[in-house]
Structure 1
């Protein structure tokens, strides 16, 4: 059966945590969990954390390109109602706890993502079996679906769609560039099409936009530092899903941008390119994500206050140097 963890968790405690060992811990904590039937029998899901990610200088990050819906236009079961209202909910990351009778393909079908999206974001290997009680992160990935043509090479495809060759290999479970097969479809994670994306169904927020503006709500997650993505054509350095890359120095403290509850804290693994990363859910319905950390010092279920140190700047995952990849999901990016 499937359990969606609704991350309106109210807790306060200290201690280090490895995400895969537990989720939304207990011990005097008040938790809210929405229990639904499993992926084979469920009729409708309540609006919980629904999907979307991005990349750092490197990254993690697949939207609707060329009518290929790699992220859901509707909820996991084909209904707009189970996504929730507005763009803010459509960019949320999902947490799913496996129950008896679930399979990867069924869970992927619930979220309208590929099995590889789940495998890639959870450091699974092709052919791995999932276990009852196992926690899966549904990282809605942005990118382009592409059919390999005669004469294509991995590097030419990556260059055409502004992707990363290593990301393409990892996501598509390819051992090497020689494994490309003419006629097969692959995904270019965080790829960009040279044409204007065609969206079907309800509109999704454009990459680089974030919804409403909450003036004064968020603080900068590092002290000082520079936005490494700023260019003449991109003066705000926005990329991925409303993200900026902020660099100070390796080991610099990373602060909670606003008060809220820690819903994801992964302290090892590739994690779709994010490396070590943390996601905090806020009372205004938004989420903030902090990626490529050298160390996480908060755990799932913690309640953190604005300005609290949650980890340290690093270069884990798909990263070219120490920085924090900082996303705001559901609101304008003020930094």
Structure 2
């Protein structure tokens, strides 16, 4: 049992009897970007477009920019992909005339149905033969392209994600589980200890944390990321409860971080009464977040008073891991930061 003061670095309480995501409850994520790039290049290598009037070939991928991931949350697979593709193609009409062109697909993502994708066909020349070949490519080639893109999405959801849904707790057998992205390799039961701190007169030795952050975003964007439920849900990657008004309560990371909003000045300042579930019962710190927009970035100063002394280092690390790094990855704020002791 992890006792208060031992500084366990996780805010998300996890039960992992075999060092694995048992019952598929916890969020696990696989980076599918390198695999996706190779798969897309493979699918569009020398692809023939059927036509009686011309020999047309999609030759290769010229550009493949974006990212993809596969996530498992509560036994449900969630996929994210967003790609900007440019393909090369060439064609020769039966009556003569060779031409080259490009295919641009600017918005391949899970938000857009493949049947409705914007597929732009261009050709390098500008004569009658080029126009005829381009029209054939528009009529015949788009179906081929959509078919290949469908194959990529299917592969992502079937081949790449194979093994992400794990056996339930009572089905786990020794040596039968491979770790995914949990990052932990031993069992630690983080059931909170019922502290004796509720006794009158017990003094808790505390300290203050000062953190300075610089984000590549507007002050309003950072403020929204800390107060709008859809944005908080996105970067914490799980259900949250949040009422961003004075006196309103919040609950993050499945109840492991809770508190109350004490002051809210949009785009300027957030003050919270804030506690971690592992702390002595009833003990809260005060978090003051000052938001200052500069000419090319937003500077954020976090002052947290009343942090139990044994929890200072781990609390700093968890602000970094679960707030700042996650915001950066989710919203592209491009954060860089410095701690001030």
Over alpha carbons, which structure has the higher Rg? Answer: 2
TM-score, reference length from structure 1: 0.21
TM-score, reference length from structure 2: 0.21
More helix, by proportion:
2
Higher relative contact order (CA 8 A, sep 6+): 1
